[in-house]
Amino acid sequence: MFSQARDGRNILLYSVGRTSERENLFYWIGPLFTMEIGLYSSDAQRIRISHLEDARNYRIGVVRGDMRDQLFTSLGGFQLTRYRNSRNLLRGLERGRVDVVPLAKMTVPYVLEHLSLPAEAIELVFESRILHQADLYIVLGRESDPALAVRLQQAWKRLESRRQLEDIRNTASFYMRNAQGIP
C-alpha cells in the first residue's frame, strides 16, 4: 500500500509516519494522531535497557523501510534484522530470532490478539522520546494532481477549525489498531 500511494496517482493513504526521509514523497494532508513507540521483548527478564544506547547490545527487529527502520538505521550501530511485515516481525521475536522490537504502544494489544498471542507474550522494556513519538498523517502521493492536494489540505483545515476531526481520528485509530499497527 505504501509504495502504491507513493508512486500512484490520486491515492490517499493513512496513517504514514512523517519523517525527513519521507517529506518529499507525499503531500501531507493532515495529522491523524501521535504514535508512541516503545521497545518490546518476549524475554523481559533478560533484557536491560536504560538508555537507547543499551539497545545496541541486542538484536532489534524492524519492518523493512518503515520509520522505525529508518530511525535505527540513521542512528547507526544497531544490530537490525528486517522483516517484511509486522506479523513476521513478531513471529521473529516469538521464535528468539530478535531480542527486541519497536512497536506502537497503542497497537500492541490488538496485534497480539490478531496473532493469537497472550497479552503477557511481550513486555515493554524501554520507552524514550528519542525512540519516538511520531505524527501519523493522511498522505497523497507526489504523482497526484497538486490541485487535489491543496483542496484536501484546505478541507482538513476546515475540519480542524470546526473541531470535527475527533470522529475521524477515532475511526482511524480503530482501523490502525486492527490493521496490525503498520505505520
In a domain, 179, yes or no: no
Q: Let me know if residue 168 belongs to a domain.
A: no
In a domain, 21, yes or no: no
Asked whether the predicted pLDDT for residue 96 surpasses 60, the reply is: yes
Q: Is residue 120 part of a domain?
A: yes
For the segment 101-142, what is each residue's pLDDT rounded down to a tens digit? 998 887 788 778 877 888 888 899 998 766 666 788 999 999
From 99, 85, 61, select the one nearest 183 (Cα to Cα): 85
Task: Tally Cβ neighbours within 10 Å of residue 54.
Answer: 14
Cell 501521535 belongs to residue: 34
What pLDDT digit, counting tens, does each position of 166-181 carry? 777 776 665 555 544 4
Is residue 174 situated within a structural domain?
Answer: no
| CATH of residue 112 | 3.40.190.10
Question: Cα(45)–Cα(111) distance, rounded to whole angstroms?
Answer: 22
**Distance (Å, whole) CA 178 – CA 168:** 15
> Tens of pLDDT along 20-55?
888 999 999 999 888 888 999 998 778 989 999 999
Are the C-beta atoms of 128 and 53 separated by less than 8 Å? no
Please give the residue range of the domain that contains residue 64: 35-131
Task: Give a yes or no: residue 115 inside a domain.
Answer: yes
* Domain assignment of residue 156, yes or no: no
Task: Look at residue 17 and give its three-state secondary structure.
Answer: strand
- Whether residue 58 contacts residue 99, with contact meaning beta carbons closer than 8 Å, is answered with yes
The answer to whether position 48 is within a domain reads yes
The count of structural domains within the chain is 1
